[in-house]
Chains A and B, each alone.
Chain A
Amino acid sequence: MQDTQDMKRIVIEPVTRVEGHGKVTILLDEENRVKQARLHIVEFRGFERFIQGRPYWEAPVLVQRLCGICPVSHHLAAAKAMDQIVGVDELTPTAEKMRRLMHYGQMFQSHSLHFFHLASPDLLFGFDADVAIRNVIGVAAKHQDLAVQGVMMRKFGQEIIKATAGKKIHGTGAIPGGVNKNLSIEERDSFLKDIDQMIEWSRGALAIARNYTIENLEAIAPFGSFDSNHLSLVREDGAMDLYHGNLRAIDANGGKIFDQVDYNNYLDYIGEDVRDWSYMKFPFIKSIGPENGWYRVGPLARVNACDFIDTPEAEAARQEFMAVTNGKPNNLTMAYHWARMIETLHSIEKIRDLLHDSDLQGTDLVLKGDRRPEGVGLLEAPRGTLFHHYRVDENDQVVMANLIVSTTSNNEPMNRAVTKVAMDHISGKAEITEGLLNRIEVAIRAYDPCLSCATHALGRMPLVVRLVDHEGNEVAKKST
């Protein structure tokens, strides 16, 4: 780290136990002008080695250990790759729908957790609110109904996962070529009992995010915002599809960079840049190059990239979202929250529709084809496009694994957001307050990064913010 005599450093870094971690370093000069701002994420690369030599059918279970936040995403992405290994290109209707139900349950619970318990304190109380109330307990005290809704929505999604994956740790629901269980009538009815409530609460959450964005548009429009490319899977007809589709990349104005790309060919389109100051790679679109080819993934990218959403309420919300930018992609960092709640409503609409589909009670669960040596599985995880790629030898052992997780794709955008906020809100300030430093976290939090995925370890994102002067003295500290 360059640390010259005439500069100060602000470091935002975590206190972790065994997890990987990230930190933000903001380099100031003597007049407190921001010279440089960077998000560093320490990445362990042990997992690819760990899985080598293991039988391919274990992969969908083993990969869940990558992350305690979104094990289902890794489970399903690996299972999709292993479908190809066992020569299955199309699952049975029951298998396909059970996996989708699992995935929408994951999306629903993850987005609910993020909105109600991580993001809502910023939105409800403001960036400068007392840190003692700007947290989930503050939400509970002032908006108890919202805090309870967050818990119960999260729990509903987790129960969906439990019913489809089998259990919380080492779920085994998805297996190469299909699934190992269907949904019983009893399980279905237990979810149907609560579905209307979940939809109602999702509408309410969407309204909060939508109203916050509209009412504060002038203030949040420049906040950590910048034009970018966007990448996601879309269905063949251009619809949003969180479980399966082809790759589409658009530029900041909505122009298509590529479209309907078979994700088996992702290496022809996506590269990974390495920079000497970061452990985490920087993915980019090859045809544009690393300098300008970086892209956003996640809810904002997905809502921007798709042509429509195939559930009515979420589609109506998407149209309203796109109208704010006259149909062009929305490039506001804070618009992630609104987009995330559109997806939450979409997910619960999908869950409702699936629960009424009798294919979930089918018994044709697994298919088998001719063994292949290589498989690629992609899906849209809560935080964005997730890539799993494996090669398997003739002894059925995994010999190569390559993963690109969503947070890695958002590495450059998060760095840009940090830089933008630091320049706009911290540069030149005589005193760095907690509220100013919180703005850095607000910008990162919009992306809902999962450092546990990115670091291939169980994860949290606790941060310690330190302001260090040019002599190395700590002049301010923020612990969150």
Chain B
Amino acid sequence: MEQPKRILLIGYGNPGRLDDGLGPAIAVAAEQWQVDGLTVDSDYQLTVEDADDVAKHDIVIFADASVNGREPYGVEVVQPKQALSFSSHSVEPSVLLHMAHALFHAQTRGYILGIRGYEFNEFGEGLSARATENLEKATAFLRLALDNPSLLDVPQQMN
């Protein structure tokens, strides 16, 4: 029997900035599931030490709020990319994937699950109504994709 893929889900964003909490919200949902091989993490943003965790998995899914992406959600394949910036404390998924490959010799595949949000610019808890609807759809998709990761490669059929 084939070993289940080791999948890392990182839901990131700031729950104190309204719809920016979409990433952590889907991580909370995923923590309730019993999926073999799934590791769930959640943080305000991605940082360099995540590279070590990414390297220990076959697949990493970066779940984040999307400011102007596809509704209700979109999936993108992450291409490893060298950082041309080092002014930031946070790290982009593409750079993190590159670090996992370059520093830890991993072959992890990466995907961004961007969940469309609408309200970001105020302090406040809770998701907007439209973001909540998008979260439900994205959560349903994620549950399917965890059982069948190939779905991540055909995002256009999922939206």
Contacts and interface: CB of A to CB of B under 8 A. Distances in A.
Given A151-B52, A169-B43, A458-B45, A62 B88 contact: no
Contacts of B90: 68-69, 459-460
Nearest to B122: A46
B100 to A, nearest CB: 10
Contact of B103 (A46, A114, A118, A151): A151
Interface string B40-64: 0111110111011000000000000
B16 A154 contact: no
Interface residues of A, number: 55
B44 A136 contact: no
Q: Which of B17, B47, B86, B103 has the most CB of A within 10 A?
A: B86
A65 interface: yes
Given A131-B84, A459-B89, A151 B99 contact: yes
A71 B15 CA distance: 13
Interface string B1-37: 0000000000001111100100010000000000000
Interface string A104-118: 000001000110011
Contacts of A150: 48
Contacts of A49: 123
Given A47-B123, A441-B87, A460-B87, 10 more contacts: A17-B120, A65-B17, A68-B14, A109-B49, A118-B86, A135-B82, A151-B103, A167-B42, A462-B87, A462-B88
Nearest to A139: B86
Contact of B84 (A46, A132, A155, A459): A132
A169 B44 contact: yes
11 contacts: A17-B120, A69-B89, A135-B84, A140-B99, A152-B49, A168-B44, A456-B123, A458-B45, A460-B88, A460-B90, A461-B88
Contacts of B122: 46
A258 interface: no
Interface stretch (A75-83, A141-149, A205-213, A360-368): A141-149
B15 A137 contact: no
Interface in A25-46: 46
A155 B52 contact: yes
Contacts of A293: none
